Amino acid sequence: MVELIAQLKELGFTEYEAKAYTALVQNSHVSAYQVSKNSGIPRARIYDILDLLVEKGLVLKEETTDQTTYSSIPVAVFLQQVQQRWQSNFTSISDQLEKLEVKEQEAEHKVVTLKGKEAIVNYCQSLLKKAEKKVILSMWEDMYEALREDIHEVSEHVPVRGITLFVEENEASIDRHRITQYTRKSSTPHWFILSVDGQKMIYGHSPSNQETAFITNDPVHIYLLEDYIWHDVLVNRLLKRDDKELEEWITKERKAFFLE
């Protein structure tokens, strides 16, 4: 019940309104005194609370010569009203925020930080939905699985290219990274890069490793990281020739380059 009251408060109800309505759902056709007793709302406040709920159309008030009783409207009706109100508020908020958003600022080349796993995944999902021309990505399996459905959906109308690591069944247009000593190491950080239409990009460690990512519309960032993905794809395609000596040479050169 505590969780339900908290959820109703998130929908805009006061604690007393939530308690009064839920009490009436459990026991209808009762007096204000009984509602107060069942809900824990002080008797000095119960009449005001019930009158507010009656005005909102959430509680029915029945007056006779002998007494006044209260009942909740059916739960299905209540839920429909809440859904309609939420949808109306969401639409209004969405319209107003989009109007407030200054389009000129989008032309500024910037890199901003985004924190939190849920926020990062949600931003990626939003970015994929806006894709019109192309999607280029590089992802380990944890991030790919979080976005699998969204990537599949966008791939039906926009070309998706890139490379994944340890993903079993990715989109046919996406290359799979070869398994190497470096990728096998448990200490190797998992990363992801997601670029949409060559205009916006988000990149960073996979949220399961570190809940920080970077968003940019800077063309230099986007060019360099997209080119990095292409080179990764190219090397993997070359190594499909099964040239063991070539892979050993690349491993050796990598260690020398990064002073490992």
Report the distance separating Cα 33 and Cα 56, nearest Å: 21
Helix, strand, or coil (residue 247): helix
Phi-psi map region of 162: left, alpha, beta (phi>0 left; psi -120 to 50 alpha): left
9-18, 51-60, 151-160, 247-256, range with the lowest pLDDT: 247-256
Report the distance separating Cα 106 and Cα 112, nearest Å: 12
pLDDT(110) > 90: no
The beta strands (E) that lie in the chain are given as 59-63, 68-72, 111-115, 135-140, 160-165, 175-176, 191-196, 200-205, 212-216
State the pLDDT at residue 258: 66
Residue 101 pLDDT class (50, 70, 90 cuts):
low
**Closest by CA position to 164, among listed 222, 227, 232:** 232
pLDDT(98) > 70: yes
State the pLDDT at residue 260: 61
pLDDT(118) > 60: yes
Residue 102 pLDDT class (50, 70, 90 cuts):
low
Average pLDDT, the chain: 86
pLDDT(236) > 90: no
Torsions phi, psi for 206 (to 5 deg): -60, 140
Residue 132 pLDDT class (50, 70, 90 cuts):
very high
Helices then strands, counting H and E runs in the chain, come out as 10, 9
Specify the DSSP class assigned to residue 30: B
Tens of pLDDT, residue by residue over 169-199, are 889 999 998 887 777 887 788 889 999 999 9
**Structural domains of the chain in order of their starting residue, each with its CATH number:** 2-76 (1.10.10.10), 109-257 (3.30.870.10)
The whole-model pTM stands at 0.59
* C-alpha radius of gyration, the chain, whole number: 28
pLDDT(87) > 90: no
Contacts of 182 (CB under 8 A, 6+ apart): 188, 251, 254
**Closest by CA position to 23, among listed 43, 11, 13, 38:** 38
